[in-house]
Structure 1
């Protein structure tokens, strides 16, 4: 049960990052793309920082828990950057990718998601262990609510189109 909760917590902590990482606009030249996506990158990073601050506050992290918290927050930031980079690459290449390239890139994103979740669980477990019973209840509730919200948001983003476009649009 505890491992399931930690995995759920990790997923919930990451899901807002993933949801926000898939929206930057594509540009034709890499330099133009970097300049055009700079505000989007800053906006995504700000959202990650907002989520970190919100969790820190809602979990009532104590000074004694700051070391574990800091490790967890750093993994959230790193995962957010990794996924944003992968999605930026995907968007920049989407018009020139073959079906095989598309599948390989999707595999890379999926593997990065799994690897990031594993790192997040590893960072969250010592933090969760250090939480008081009251804090654990807050964490359980917070992550449960966030998971439900993320699942609801993903369900409403799926296109209703038919055929190959619908299949490829459901990928990150």
Structure 2
């Protein structure tokens, strides 16, 4: 269960935010190093969320006419990232939990993730609707390529999605 939690933490904390997008080369996908201070961890987490927002803004070629929808989407990403960061910080601080309390805490995190994803989808819908056909294709590819581990998202037929290309335009 701890391994599953670490995987969830990494996916949620870094994507902060939205389904299965590859990280830019400059945004590390790892969780905070053990022994890092809480303020340093928070700053690193917030930087990762901001890096993800900047990456997606560029990758999706957001226009000035789309900025208001984009800002609403980005704000949800930030809020989700903050919520998840707080929950994981609390989890790191609670080192002496019973098995039952551990499961309850995990359920709280999973529910917060589900709630955050719902909010994110709701914010993404009007943005996606405003996209040009080219932007929709970019979004479809970007969000379908797989998560931080590079392709763990399965498409139709249970096949792994192709790993992102290694050139700078694909990241």
Answer whether TM exceeds 0.5 for this pair: yes
> Which whole-Å deviations, capped at 9, do the CAs of 1:70-107 have from their partners, x for residues lacking one?
0000000111111111011111102x111111011011
User: In the superposition, relative to structure 1, how do residues 44 and 153 fare at CA in structure 2: closer, same or farther (>3 Å)?
Assistant: farther
Q: Where does structure 1 differ by over 3 angstroms across 4 or more consecutive aligned residues?
A: 13-17, 22-27, 151-154
- Unaligned stretches of 5+ residues in structure 2: 1-16, 153-171
TM-score, structure 2 length as denominator?
0.69
Q: Deviations over 1:120-166 (max 9, x none)?
A: 00000000000000100111111122xx2435488xxxxxxxxxxxx
Larger RCO, structures 1/2 (Cα 8 Å, 6+ apart): 1
Q: Residues 38 and 153 of structure 1: is their aligned pair in 2 closer, same or farther, counting only changes over 3 Å? A: farther
When you count helix as a share of all residues, which structure comes out higher? 1
Provide the residue aligned with 1:38 in structure 2.
39
Work out whether 1:10 is the aligned partner of 2:18: yes
Match of 1:122 in 2: 122
Structure 1 unaligned segments of length 5 or more: list them: 1-8, 28-35, 155-172
Residues 26 and 91 of structure 1 are in contact (CA less than 8 Å); yes or no, is this contact kept in structure 2? no
Q: Is 1:23 equivalent to 2:21 in the alignment?
A: no
Q: What is the RMSD of the two structures over their aligned residues, measured on CA atoms?
A: 2.9
Q: Distance in 2 between matches of 1:69 and 1:37?
A: 30
Deviation of 1:10 after TM superposition, in Å, equals: 3.4
Once residues 151 and 61 of structure 2 are traced to their aligned partners in structure 1, the CA distance between those partners, rounded to angstroms, is: 27
Is 1:150 equivalent to 2:158 in the alignment? no
Aligned positions, number: 134
Residue number in structure 2 paired with 1:33: none
Larger Rg: 1
CA contact (8 A) 1:24 1:37 kept: no
**What is the rounded CA distance, in whole Å, between the counterparts of 1:102 and 1:66 in structure 2?**
41
